[in-house]
Amino acid sequence: MSTAVRQDPPGAALDASAHAAVTIDRPADDLRTLWLDPRTQARIWAHFADVTARDDGTADWIARGPAGGQYRWRTKIMATSPDDIRWASLDGADVPNTGALALRPAPGDRGTELHLDVRFDPPGGIIGKAASKLFHIVPGEIVRKALYQFRALALTGEIPTTDPQPAARQGGADR
Partner 1 sequence: MRALCWNGVNDLRVETVADPEILNPQDVILKVRLTTTCGSDLHLIDGLIPTMREGDVLGHEFMGEIVDVGRDVTKVKRGDRVVVPSFIACGKCWYCAHDLYSLCDTSHPKPELQEPLLGYPTAGIYAYSHAFGGYAGSHAEYVRVPFADTDCFVVPDGLPDEDALFISDAAPTGFMGADFCNIQRGDVIAVWGCGGVGLMAQQSAMILGAERVIAINQYPERLAQAEAFGATPLDFTKVDVVEALRELTGGRGPDACIDAVGMEADGTGTQHAYDRIKQALYIETDRGAALRQAMLAVRKGGTLSILGVYGVLDKFPLGLLMNKGVTVRTAQQHGQAYVPRLLDHALRGELTPAALATHRFSLEDSPAGYRMFKHKEDGCLRAVFAP
Positions touching partner 1 (CB under 8 A) are 23, 25, 110, 137, 141, 144-145, 148, 151-152, 155-163, 165-174
Least distance from C-beta 79 to partner 1, angstroms?
A: 29
Q: Which is nearer to partner 1, 84 or 113 (by Cβ)?
A: 113
Least distance from C-beta 167 to partner 1, angstroms?
A: 4
Residue 116's alpha-carbon distances to 113, 128, 167, 173, in angstroms, are 10, 25, 31, 31
Q: Which is nearer to partner 1, 1 or 167 (by Cβ)?
A: 167
Strand (E) positions, the chain?
17-24, 49-53, 58-64, 70-81, 84-89, 97-105, 112-120
Least distance from C-beta 65 to partner 1, angstroms?
A: 18
The Cβ-side half-sphere exposure at 80, using a 13 Å CA radius, reads 10
Q: Which is nearer to partner 1, 28 or 88 (by Cβ)?
A: 28
| Neighbour tally for 71: CB within 10 Å | 19
Q: How much is the CA Rg of the chain, to the nearest whole Å? A: 17
Least distance from C-beta 111 to partner 1, angstroms?
A: 8
* Nearest-angstrom CA–CA distance, 76 and 70: 20
Q: Which is nearer to partner 1, 19 or 148 (by Cβ)?
A: 148
Q: With beta carbons less than 8 A apart as the criterion, state whether 98 and 118 touch.
A: yes
Least distance from C-beta 163 to partner 1, angstroms?
A: 7
Q: With beta carbons less than 8 A apart as the criterion, state whether 19 and 119 touch.
A: no
Q: Which is nearer to partner 1, 38 or 140 (by Cβ)?
A: 140
| Neighbour tally for 58: CB within 10 Å | 15
